[in-house]
Amino acid sequence: MSEAREFLTEHNELTRRFFLRCGVTLAAGSAVAARAAEPLPAELAPVLEKLESYFTEQSKFGDVSRGKPIPHTLPLEKKKEVGLTRETWRLEIISDPENPATLGKQFTKKDNTAIDFATLLKLGEKHAVRFAKVMTCLNIGCPLGMGIWEGVPLRTLVWLTQPKENLRRVFYYGYHNDDPKQMFRSSLPVGRILEDYDDLPPVIVCYKLNGEWLTPERGAPVRILVPEHYGYKSVKWLTHIVLSNLYHANDTYGTQNNDVDSPMKTFAATLHVPGTVKTNTPIPVTGYAQSGISGLSKVQVWVSPSEKKWPADDPYFTTAAWTDATILAPPAKWGGELTADAIPKDTIGFDATGKPKTWPMRLAKAHWAALLPGLPAGEYTFRCRTIDAKGAAQPMPRPFKKSGRCDIEWVKFTVTG
Ligand SMILES: Nc1nc2c(c(=O)[nH]1)N[C@H]1C(S)=C(S)[C@@H](COP(=O)(O)O)O[C@H]1N2
Ligand SMILES: [Mo]
């Protein structure tokens, strides 16, 4: 047994003793202490200060945009011409010619009844909602950004059509250079649009992010935002909503082998793991977790010597000596360029003073930190995982790649003299 491995068999006990011995806590009231329910070891302070902001500035979001040219790169004149500005935007809401829904009314450009931006804002005066949500691409895994999204519930627009029957699916798409091959379409069962089951916020026709108008990259002037889904359901540069009697999904993303009935998963990833550390010196690590549809109860970490073989019949390391990391409390500063750093009034999930009603928030990010005990010299592999609020350890209960990224992340590091 290598020295390192011998050490790690006692890992659990040592971690516990370390925290007791360490006993060093940060000054009460400091920005960092404010982020944890329990005091955190002082060694974590430098890496906690470098954590990313909780909300993401619009311009710092990761961008996933299709099209040749990409619609947000069109010159302003062209944007005006094709309805990609607030002044020229028009939304058609129609029955699907192939699987017609029975509607009392349709909204079309031809009849000059298409919805314009002023009408949408007018509906917003009465119906607008806002909620926090992390934008994640099913295939990229790493969140693109965390925001407070604002708009009118899609059902408000659906009801304007006076639907009677034969309505089972709603699909929608955005501006795609008038080239059918470039169309990026997503869809939802109508029931999800009409009713917010499982305590979800509504699906919205969205025009603001973090209190500001959407930027062209984020889908301006208007995009769909689906709280519980991966990014591909949140179609940008929205131009058409189609009410259909189709009984199944018809998302463009589905034709690319993606599982389009898979809401967001819970998983953890690292932000800071040092590449090289000194022997017997505590190791500060940080990361984030995405709380998916089943919530988040724990983040856990585990270090093992890199040369150690693991039984093939335990691919998810369920029998490893995982220890709990600390999920950080809401941040002292939210970031994301929110005006006065305040949560906009009446944001779903926040109280009247702008405090989150629950923490960690579902369908959002949370940050975590751990101070690993010092180690003897060697090569090590660090892993992190989540336990969701139903008790399932990552990557369960839905481990397949094409239903959303959730592999257990690993990072190697070296401990030397
Ligand atoms: N019209 C349109 N909407 C789109 C896309 C697109 O290519 N075209 N990409 C989708 C995908 S796959 C993702 S992950 C999100 C990314 O949103 P963001 O670019 O605002 O971060 O946008 C979605 N909406
Ligand atoms: Mo995506």
CA 33 – CA 298 distance, rounded (Å): 19
Beta carbons of 258 and 272 less than 8 angstroms apart:
no
Residues 297 and 353 in one domain: yes
> Quick count: other Cβ atoms within 10 Å of Cβ 194?
18
**304 CB contacts (<8 Å, ≥6 apart)?**
8, 310, 320, 380, 381, 383
Asked if residue 18 has pLDDT above 70, the reply is: no
| Assigned token pair, 191 | 């029931």
| Cα dihedral 174/180/181/184 (nearest 10) | 20
Indicate if ligand 1 lies below 6 Å from the C-beta of 109: no
What's the CA-to-centroid distance between 262 and ligand 1, angstroms?
Answer: 17
Residues 104 and 214 in one domain: yes
Residues 108 and 232 in one domain: yes
The per-residue pLDDT for 29 is 36
Residue 64 belongs to a domain: no
Residues 269 and 234 in one domain: no
Asked if residue 8 has pLDDT above 50, the reply is: no
Q: Which of 204, 224, 256 is the last residue of a domain?
A: 256
From 209, 230, 285, 233, select the one nearest 43 (Cα to Cα): 285
What's the CA-to-centroid distance between 95 and ligand 2, angstroms?
Answer: 27
The CATH number of residue 390's host domain is 2.60.40.650
Question: Which pTM does this prediction carry?
Answer: 0.91
| Assigned token pair, 364 | 């959002």
Residues 175 and 116 in one domain: yes
The per-residue pLDDT for 35 is 58
Atom of ligand 1 minimally distant from the CA of 71: 1
CA 191 – CA 289 distance, rounded (Å): 30
Atom of ligand 1 minimally distant from the CA of 136: 14
Indicate if ligand 1 lies below 6 Å from the C-beta of 59: no
For range 10-33, the mean pLDDT:
36
Name the percent of the chain lying above pLDDT 70.
91
Residue 63 belongs to a domain: no
Residues 360 and 324 in one domain: yes
The CATH number of residue 213's host domain is 3.90.420.10
The per-residue pLDDT for 3 is 41
Residues 320 and 362 in one domain: yes
Atom of ligand 1 minimally distant from the CA of 144: 21
Beta strands in 210-309 (DSSP E): 212-213, 223-225, 238-244, 267-272, 276-278, 283-290, 298-305
What's the CA-to-centroid distance between 64 and ligand 1, angstroms?
Answer: 5
For range 45-52, the mean pLDDT:
96
H-helix or E-strand containing 208?
strand 204-209
Hey, what amino acid is at 174? G
Residues 282 and 412 in one domain: yes
**409 CB contacts (<8 Å, ≥6 apart)?**
268, 269, 270, 383, 384
Q: How would you classify the pairing of strands 90-95 and 238-244?
A: parallel
From 74, 69, 113, 106, select the one nearest 90 (Cα to Cα): 113
Residue 62 belongs to a domain: no
Residue 155 belongs to a domain: yes
| Assigned token pair, 394 | 């990552």
Indicate if ligand 1 lies below 6 Å from the C-beta of 232: yes
For range 373-385, the mean pLDDT:
98
Atom of ligand 1 minimally distant from the CA of 145: 21
CA 375 – CA 313 distance, rounded (Å): 28
> Which domain, by its residues, includes 142?
70-256
Q: In this predicted model, what pLDDT tens digit does every residue of 323-372 receive, in sequence order?
A: 999 999 999 999 999 999 999 999 999 999 999 999 999 999 999 999 99
For range 241-261, the mean pLDDT:
98
CA 39 – CA 1 distance, rounded (Å): 35
Atom of ligand 1 minimally distant from the CA of 61: 21
Q: Which of 256, 278, 310 is the last residue of a domain?
A: 256
CA 68 – CA 66 distance, rounded (Å): 7
Q: Whose CA is nearest to atom 18 of ligand 1?
A: 63
CA 126 – CA 120 distance, rounded (Å): 10
Alpha-helical regions (H) of 61-107: 76-82
Indicate if ligand 1 lies below 6 Å from the C-beta of 175: no
Residues 7 and 133 in one domain: no
Hey, what amino acid is at 406? C
Name the percent of the chain lying above pLDDT 90.
90
Indicate if ligand 1 lies below 6 Å from the C-beta of 215: no
Q: Which residues pair with 185 in a beta bridge?
A: 173
Residues 77 and 47 in one domain: no
Concatenated DSSP letters for 31-68? TTGGG-SSPPPGGGHHHHHTPPPSB--GGGS------S
Q: Which of 214, 239, 256 is the last residue of a domain?
A: 256
Beta carbons of 8 and 321 less than 8 angstroms apart:
yes
Residues 200 and 99 in one domain: yes
Beta carbons of 380 and 4 less than 8 angstroms apart:
yes
Residues 83 and 205 in one domain: yes
Residue 363 belongs to a domain: yes
| Cα dihedral 174/155/109/233 (nearest 10) | 10
Residue 160 belongs to a domain: yes
Indicate if ligand 1 lies below 6 Å from the C-beta of 307: no
Residue 65 belongs to a domain: no
CA 109 – CA 122 distance, rounded (Å): 19
Residue 61 belongs to a domain: no
Beta carbons of 205 and 154 less than 8 angstroms apart:
yes
Q: How many domains does the chain have?
A: 2
Beta carbons of 192 and 202 less than 8 angstroms apart:
no
| Assigned token pair, 248 | 């199944």
CA 345 – CA 129 distance, rounded (Å): 10
The per-residue pLDDT for 141 is 87
**176 CB contacts (<8 Å, ≥6 apart)?**
66, 67, 71, 182, 183, 184
Categorize the per-residue pLDDT at 39 as very low, low, confident or very high, splitting at 50, 70 and 90. confident
